[in-house]
Structure 1
């Protein structure tokens, strides 16, 4: 039997990764907190993460500096795997993993930052629901699997990072669903596009082209043909062409009738 577990990963190495416990996980410089971050700008009780069966809630006290995906937040905020939480200048990413069977015994001592050692919980490899295939620039022909919620951008803490000047630090969030990929622009400067149309929140499906500024990718669902189906002639522009042709034939027929008469 498997259940979902969540952990915080600190890309900057300020703290070893932390497996979140059900209930209250206090974060701050106080030694009694679940996550102790003894850094300038971190308050003794900076904030807390509340973990339950429905997910994770971030509680931020008034006047405390906390950001989620680059945006200041306050009060009670729902988090999802892939979110990047900033505690003043310390960044941490919320990561989801599958725990197989019973949890492994707790390991004493601090593990190296961001290093899943031999005693870490075993993670079963997940089959990606969708793959992004590069169709432009240096990414042409490269494939990027989307296993879970993915944040794309230039920042080091992004799930999928590209060193491109046209990308914002946190550019877009991609959430794989059964019927496609939910695309949420995170307030980027140069925009997110689906099939050439700029979007803020939209659903991309197999065969669609997603663009992050100048970067272009084709959405592919493993197991399906990479050839995009042609639009039937009875829809869109094809329907207009068919109607024009039919009108022309009708006009020719009318002329022929008049001529015979």
Structure 2
């Protein structure tokens, strides 16, 4: 092997390539992510120390800069990491396959609005630029989450926005953000009673905690003053399990009615 080829390999020219092939790219939080990692040798032999598989997502943080201007910054967060720790040499033109299997974190955000989740696969290469592959995962609601969403839609609400918003710290989550789903009324008994209803899902295995933030619509002078001083919002918690799935719509109706 010539010195020139080694140099080219170290800067990524003619180096090994990695490609993650997912068995399924549509999953719910907590479900198993499986697939095969394909590593193809380049023009030079290279030592691979390990393969890192990171499940990543994005979220936004809002803050004031030094000049007092509002800034929105998009950040990335590693939800989980899986490693193939087998050290190996990949020869020129050689192809190796590695199977992987691990569960998506229960706190993985749903792919809706600006929220994205992806698998980032990285070859850890000695004395060279690491090679990376990126594959998006479409995260769909769990059965419990979907039941809540369907219930709100049946009650006349429409999901109009969603985002993972950065938070300093919250006691109920280990993440630096929470995913908020924002609903507005378009029909039904609650149409015109609320500005919006925001929902936060917290998966707890066989239990789903749902936090509702209810923003009442201002009515008259008393309503105006409540809204001006942020007194028009209520936060309510609902626990959903397999045992109360059939009653979820009625429970949410009563919950909203009590805070109308």
TM-score, reference length from structure 2: 0.30
TM-score, reference length from structure 1: 0.30
Q: Who wins on radius of gyration, i.e. which is larger?
A: 1
Greater helix proportion: 2
Greater strand proportion: 2
